[in-house]
Structure 1
Amino acid sequence: MPEVEVPKRHVSFKERFIWTGFALLIFLVMAQVPLYGLGGQEVQSIFGYYRYVFASHAGTLMELGIGPIVTAGIIMQLLVGSKIIGLKLTKPEDRALFTGVQKLLAVIVGVFMASMYAFGMYPQQFGAILTIRDSIFITAELAIGVIAVLYLDELVSKYGFGSGISLFIVAGVSAAIFVQAFSPLEPLGAVPNLARTIVTGGGLYDAFFRVGAPNMWGVFATFIVFLIAIYAESMRVEIPLAYGRFGGIRGRYPIRFLYASVIPVILAGVLFMNVRLFAGIMYNRGYTFLGTFDERGNPAGGIVYYLDAPNGLNQVADDPLRAVTYLVALVVLCMGFAWLWINMTNMGPRNVAEQLDRSGMLIPGFRRDIRVMEHVLARYITVVTLLGGAFIGALAAMADFFGALGSGTGILLTVGIIYGLYEEIARERVSEMFPAVRRFFGG
């Protein structure tokens, strides 16, 4: 597939900001363009709060959001990591092939999901309003939207900051938090509702615990989750190292507490999202083996109901079994995905031991042997990976239980992405101020 050309010169800090802003603007415009063929009908999203995480905007060109691209990326990473596809991503030609196949797979997944919407979900929502011609046209529109996001992501990756996928996630979650907190329209956001309650002399209980709309308890929960996530991002375990040939030279190998970052919660989200999508389409066709939905598209029973997070303390109190099931499922999946991810992406103890050995480093007090180093590293990396995965899953679930705005998963992704962007922007600023630093790192 065609690709965005790699810049042949250094892209300045200002230019990166411009290209990043341009890509975000195009995405936001496309998220407001309604699908032709729906006849202006209001579309109910079956993704629930996952629409924030996957930048999905119901009834628009961005209906699928980044879902197909993330799904394709995960599939390719797993295929390469498990050696089913024999590619070495350190080789430029293999890396180019990997990128091309991943883009093609994203388009295929996008067309498949678009057809499921156009021929499965939309006709069930609107009945006889949609014709076969409308469904084909909608499939094409959604596929074009996926391709557009694909190239916007590539544009940001090469000419902007971070990646387009990360940018769109942050934009979607941030917009959701802002609207839920400050919306002046009914139902009022949490802060305007608090102001109205104070002015009218109403009880503060409604402002903090109202049901079915954002409340101040959710605002405080959001703030607390942000602080916890930021602190967790900075936590790390440091393993002492020494240079083999010069024992006096010491160093440390940092292992972040969130060693797999927020990847586990993304993978769990993709799994839940696809189960929900498939269950919704099956339910519309009369099959309820995965669950049932109410008239607003929310899970009402079955497996999909128990894999959907209760949003707010009132829903937790109404069905504690659902809350416990979701919490356990998310924590177990995040632990499993964290372990799987580090072993599939050359972050496992064996890979790290080989990297340190090639660098001439060893762990003081142990003989220089890859097997010994791997054994020592495994005691740290395995435990930290599993604990970090469990922590990120539990924090995401608890944020939803306490009604955090933008969803717990969305907040964690936003914090992780912004943390990474901050580090990248800081490096770019240093390289702008000191060109010698950029030349040293090959920029």
Structure 2
Amino acid sequence: MEQAEQPRSKLYALEGLVRRLPEVSVPKRHVSFKEKFMWTGIALIGFFVLTQVSLYGMAAGAGQTAFFGQLRFILASHAGSLMELGIGPIVTAGIIMQLLVGSKIIGLDLSKTDDRALFTGVQKIGAILMGIFQASMLVMSGWYGVAFGSGAGIFLIVQLTIGVLIVVYLDEVVSKYGFGSGISIFIMAGVAGTIFWQAFNPLQVGGQFTGAIPNFFGTMLGGGNISDAFFRPGMPNMMGVFATIIVFFIVVYAESMRIEIPLAYGRFGGIRGRYPIKFLYTSVIPVILAMVVFANIRMLGMVFSPLQGASYYLSAPNGIFDVMADPLRAGIYISVLVLLCMGFAWLWANMTGMGPRDVARQLDRSGMLIPGFRRDIRVMEWVLGRYIMTAALLGGAFVGAISAVADFMGALGSGTGILLTVGIMYSLYQEIAKERMTEMFPAMRRLFGE
């Protein structure tokens, strides 16, 4: 008896609109290492140019401070520019679409080419709509000092939406012609630049060097109190520098931690292999999603006053003095962040084909089994579930905790920013190494499925 064909998703009603959207074409040939490097650099330069384009129509003195605070590092947001919203609308739309697909509400099968293309197109539309919504929230809250219904207010919304649209296509260019994804590259570049500037900034404010390291040497040579260089409040200090270095090495070590499950081919018993399960199974994705949730709560709090109190407790205390001033805030923040990261790690593993059932099916289709257990997909799923979901939950808790603790210690560029930068750099290194290998040995492209 033939299996009934799955009904088409109702989202196909948007197919006509999706087809009309401009799209970066998929490369019809192998993109060389030099070309990928070039396109990644062009997209990055374009992004930095946009961060220097100021919004037109703001009231005098408005929009100069960062609306998202410490979250601006994760969202690649730059105050008062076209990149005010950063990657927030794109990631928010991605979260919504992943949840809808994973819960099978919209009936898309991402293993099918047509469904995957529709998913990408609808996500692009969602990012634009989310950009309009978030831009409207900022203007409505009076952040730019103009009325929501005024010509200046509408023009500001248009500018911010155009900024989101440009980031969508820059991300698409990097994803198809460059290394990694544009969103990851933008986050990494922004955080790395911030860390460097906060550590080495030679400018002086109030007789003190702004950068932590110049201030340290200036204090030593001037015969000042060394503890001031380590714990000065409100400005980058040496405690933040050491916290940054410590977090960097902890995350690098955690990225290398893994457990390997032995495998064997069912048809050829002598051929064995291993399936690696990383401790950071879902990488830094959970903390990105958690921070986007915090950013949206902060934005809604500007319009809906009951959420203002929540946004205060969902923003990280920056430095030991902030933690000591309000320990309750620090405790609530780290607790909520860890729980959210664990929840998002579980969701991401189950909704993106990384769960025990999906992995068991992939291994079963390739003819592999776990030695010591009978070949049954349900048994394989049970064995994998013991390791995969444990790694996902513990990894999610780890990235949430290390992010919060780094913020409490005053790490440069924010704890979450450092965490994301290390994770992105690690993934980028692996991709570049693979690309160099395929450049030297073209026959290996088939092994990687290219």
The question of 1:191 aligning with 2:241 is answered no
Structure 1 vs Structure 2 CA RMSD: 1.4
> What is the CA deviation profile of residues 146-199 of structure 1, one whole-angstrom value per residue up to 9, with x for unaligned ones?
000000000111111111101110111111111111112244110111121122
Q: Which runs of 5+ in 2 are unaligned?
A: 1-20
Residues 141 and 302 in structure 2, CA contact (< 8 A), matched pair in contact too: no
Deviation at 1:95, TM superposition (A): 1.0
The question of 1:6 aligning with 2:26 is answered yes
Q: State the AA in 2 paired with 1:23.
A: A
Aligned counterparts of 1:280 and 1:186: Cα–Cα separation in 2 = 34
> What is the CA deviation profile of residues 389-415 of structure 1, one whole-angstrom value per residue up to 9, with x for unaligned ones?
111111111101111111111111111
2:295 aligned residue (273, 278, 296): 273
1:157 aligned residue (144, 169, 175): 175
Local SS of the residue matching 1:61: coil
Deviation at 1:85, TM superposition (A): 1.3
**Counterpart for residue 67 of structure 1:** 88
- Going from structure 1 to structure 2, the CA distance change for 1:348 and 1:131 (only over 3 Å counts) comes to closer
Residues 121 and 281 in structure 1, CA contact (< 8 A), matched pair in contact too: no
> What is the CA deviation profile of residues 18-69 of structure 1, one whole-angstrom value per residue up to 9, with x for unaligned ones?
1111111111011011101115535222211110111101110111101000
Aligned counterparts of 1:316 and 1:114: Cα–Cα separation in 2 = 32
Alignment map for 1:134-283 (pairs within 5 Å): 134-187=152-205, 188-282=210-304
Aligned counterparts of 1:330 and 1:441: Cα–Cα separation in 2 = 36
Aligned counterparts of 1:219 and 1:51: Cα–Cα separation in 2 = 20
Alignment map for 1:388-427 (pairs within 5 Å): 388-427=395-434
Deviation at 1:436, TM superposition (A): 1.5
1:433 aligned residue (418, 431, 440): 440
More off after superposition, 413-422 vs 430-439 = 430-439
**Counterpart for residue 15 of structure 2:** none
**Counterpart for residue 16 of structure 2:** none
Alignment map for 1:42-121 (pairs within 5 Å): 42-43=62-63, 44-121=65-142
> What is the CA deviation profile of residues 241-286 of structure 1, one whole-angstrom value per residue up to 9, with x for unaligned ones?
111111111111110001111111111101111111111233xxxx
**Counterpart for residue 3 of structure 2:** none
Aligned counterparts of 1:394 and 1:322: Cα–Cα separation in 2 = 15
What is the TM-score normalised by the length of structure 1? 0.93
**Counterpart for residue 298 of structure 1:** none
Aligned counterparts of 1:322 and 1:332: Cα–Cα separation in 2 = 16
Local SS of the residue matching 1:136: helix
Aligned counterparts of 1:131 and 1:199: Cα–Cα separation in 2 = 57
**Counterpart for residue 376 of structure 2:** 369
Local SS of the residue matching 1:241: strand
Local SS of the residue matching 1:122: coil
Q: Which runs of 5+ in 1 are unaligned?
A: 292-301
Alignment map for 1:300-311 (pairs within 5 Å): 302-311=309-318
Residues 58 and 146 in structure 2, CA contact (< 8 A), matched pair in contact too: no
- Going from structure 1 to structure 2, the CA distance change for 1:174 and 1:244 (only over 3 Å counts) comes to same
**Counterpart for residue 332 of structure 1:** 339
- Going from structure 1 to structure 2, the CA distance change for 1:131 and 1:87 (only over 3 Å counts) comes to closer
**Counterpart for residue 45 of structure 2:** 25
Aligned counterparts of 2:426 and 2:335: Cα–Cα separation in 1 = 27
Aligned counterparts of 2:449 and 2:238: Cα–Cα separation in 1 = 49
Deviation at 1:114, TM superposition (A): 1.1
Residues 46 and 280 in structure 1, CA contact (< 8 A), matched pair in contact too: no
Residues 261 and 275 in structure 2, CA contact (< 8 A), matched pair in contact too: yes
Deviation at 1:314, TM superposition (A): 1.1
**Counterpart for residue 299 of structure 1:** none
Aligned counterparts of 1:421 and 1:46: Cα–Cα separation in 2 = 30
Deviation at 1:440, TM superposition (A): 4.3
Residues 140 and 303 in structure 2, CA contact (< 8 A), matched pair in contact too: no
Aligned counterparts of 2:30 and 2:392: Cα–Cα separation in 1 = 36
Aligned counterparts of 1:80 and 1:127: Cα–Cα separation in 2 = 39
Deviation at 1:381, TM superposition (A): 1.2
Aligned counterparts of 1:274 and 1:186: Cα–Cα separation in 2 = 35
| Identity level (%) | 67
Structure 1 residue runs of 4+, over 6 Å off? none
Aligned counterparts of 1:40 and 1:230: Cα–Cα separation in 2 = 45
Residues 59 and 146 in structure 2, CA contact (< 8 A), matched pair in contact too: no
Aligned counterparts of 1:350 and 1:5: Cα–Cα separation in 2 = 34
Aligned counterparts of 2:120 and 2:445: Cα–Cα separation in 1 = 26
**Counterpart for residue 38 of structure 1:** 58
Local SS of the residue matching 1:212: coil
Aligned counterparts of 2:286 and 2:35: Cα–Cα separation in 1 = 33
Local SS of the residue matching 1:157: helix
- Going from structure 1 to structure 2, the CA distance change for 1:42 and 1:200 (only over 3 Å counts) comes to farther
Deviation at 1:120, TM superposition (A): 2.4
Aligned counterparts of 2:448 and 2:379: Cα–Cα separation in 1 = 31
Residues 135 and 161 in structure 2, CA contact (< 8 A), matched pair in contact too: yes
**Counterpart for residue 13 of structure 2:** none
Residues 43 and 182 in structure 2, CA contact (< 8 A), matched pair in contact too: yes
Residues 262 and 275 in structure 2, CA contact (< 8 A), matched pair in contact too: yes
**Counterpart for residue 132 of structure 1:** 150
